[in-house]
Amino acid sequence: MKYLLQRLAFYLVTAWAAITINFLIPRMMPGDPVQALLARFQGRLDTGAVDSLKALFGLDEQQSLWQQYTDYWSHLLDGDLGLSFTFFPTPVSEVIAQSLPWTLALVGITTLISFLLGTGIGVFTGWRRGSWMDSLLPVTTFISAIPYFWLGLIAIALFAVKWPLFPAAGGYDSSLVPAFDWPFVSSALYHGALPGLTIVLSAVAGWILGMRNMMVTVSSEDYVMVAQAKGLSERRVMFGYAARNAILPNISGFALSLGFIVGGTLLVEMVFSYPGIGYQLFQAVGAKDYPLMQGVFLIITLSVLAANLLADVLYMVLDPRTRREA
């Protein structure tokens, strides 16, 4: 329990740091890009929206930095992230609320699949060293060096343009109305297949390499030799002793590399015009929509923190040493 509370405190500190960074970035940058945008949208914004944008981006020069900071927090706590310029006049929070489920589904499912698949393959390659599977390693190295988005481009070129098996863009058939029924869900799965495969293919290599190296390291631990000396079945030694211990650092690694993976998957969304927050970020960058960009950054950070917390809970379940009685 103590372990979990410690982690929780750490994530709160991290969330605070991320929000503060978000607060400082526009205030530290030269020029006033948001001011320019405000001028462009002059007359189309009501006073409330102007006020919240001023609070979020520090345009009110009468206020001290501290006042700006408390103002900023009070807007955030109200769930007010300002108005999006790209989807004017939709609030940023609404744009994000619409796109977040798509990202959570795509990234969540593919990350889980690639973690399980990569860890599984890594267990076998690490255990059976010197077998034919070692020859897979250079291939995985090459694949893991390919940027996600470029693999996405190739996937589109091959499987959407050359052989039109999958749609090249979108999250569902645009003739359908989003609803939780079979035509819509199947269309969403069909559209998600190619981006999903791209993410799995590029992410799985890293897990294979990480788990292989952990298996190799753990295989020379004393307790694995004891298990062999005890004459236990190969399955028991490999899973109950070697893999069971090797997976622990891999789970910590999972938590730490999540930020990196999310970065990559955002790019895949951009390439596939997938209606998640990565694509929104792409559009926001193109339109210089700073409120949306910052909102997306906050949401991504908070989601990564939540996923980290889940990984910590899993780690606690798997490692008795973190479960010290209070």
Q: Residues in contact with other proteins, total (CB under 8 A)?
A: 92
Would you say 55 or 292 has its CB closer to other proteins?
292
Max Cα-Cα span within the chain: 80
**Which residues inside 261-280 make contact with other proteins, applying CB under 8 A?**
262-264, 266-267, 270-271
Determine if 156 is a binding residue for other proteins (CB under 8 A).
Answer: yes
Determine if 310 is a binding residue for other proteins (CB under 8 A).
Answer: no
How many CA atoms lie within 13 Å of 15's alpha carbon, on the beta-carbon side? 17
**Distance separating alpha carbons of residues 314 and 317, to the nearest angstrom:** 5
Determine if 88 is a binding residue for other proteins (CB under 8 A).
Answer: no
Would you say 127 or 172 has its CB closer to other proteins?
127
Q: In the complex, what is the shortest distance from the CB of residue 282 to other proteins, in angstroms, rounded to a whole number?
A: 6
Would you say 55 or 247 has its CB closer to other proteins?
247
Which of 90, 101, 288, 316 is close enough to bind other proteins by CB under 8 A? 288
Span of 63-71, 115-123, 187-195, 243-251 interacting with other proteins by CB under 8 A: 243-251
* Cβ-proximal residues to 143 (8 Å cutoff; 6+ apart), any chain: 151, 201, 202, 205
Determine if 292 is a binding residue for other proteins (CB under 8 A).
Answer: no
Determine if 252 is a binding residue for other proteins (CB under 8 A).
Answer: no
Contact 100, 304 (CB under 8 A): no
Q: In the complex, what is the shortest distance from the CB of residue 72 to other proteins, in angstroms, rounded to a whole number?
A: 16
Contact 127, 238 (CB under 8 A): yes
Residue 91: strand pairing partners: 83
**Which residues inside 125-144 make contact with other proteins, applying CB under 8 A?**
127-131, 134, 137, 141-142, 144
Determine if 43 is a binding residue for other proteins (CB under 8 A).
Answer: no
Which of 8, 146, 306, 310 is close enough to bind other proteins by CB under 8 A? 146
Contact 255, 311 (CB under 8 A): yes
**Which residues inside 215-234 make contact with other proteins, applying CB under 8 A?**
216-217, 219-234
Determine if 164 is a binding residue for other proteins (CB under 8 A).
Answer: no
Q: In the complex, what is the shortest distance from the CB of residue 289 to other proteins, in angstroms, rounded to a whole number?
A: 10
Q: Find, among 117, 119, 126, the residue nearest to 215 by Cα.
A: 126
**Distance separating alpha carbons of residues 81 and 291, to the nearest angstrom:** 7
| Radius of gyration of the CA atoms of the chain, in A | 24
Residue 83: strand pairing partners: 91
Which of 5, 161, 179, 326 is close enough to bind other proteins by CB under 8 A? 161
* H/E stretch holding 293: helix 290-318
* H/E stretch holding 94: helix 92-127
Determine if 39 is a binding residue for other proteins (CB under 8 A).
Answer: no
**Distance separating alpha carbons of residues 233 and 219, to the nearest angstrom:** 15
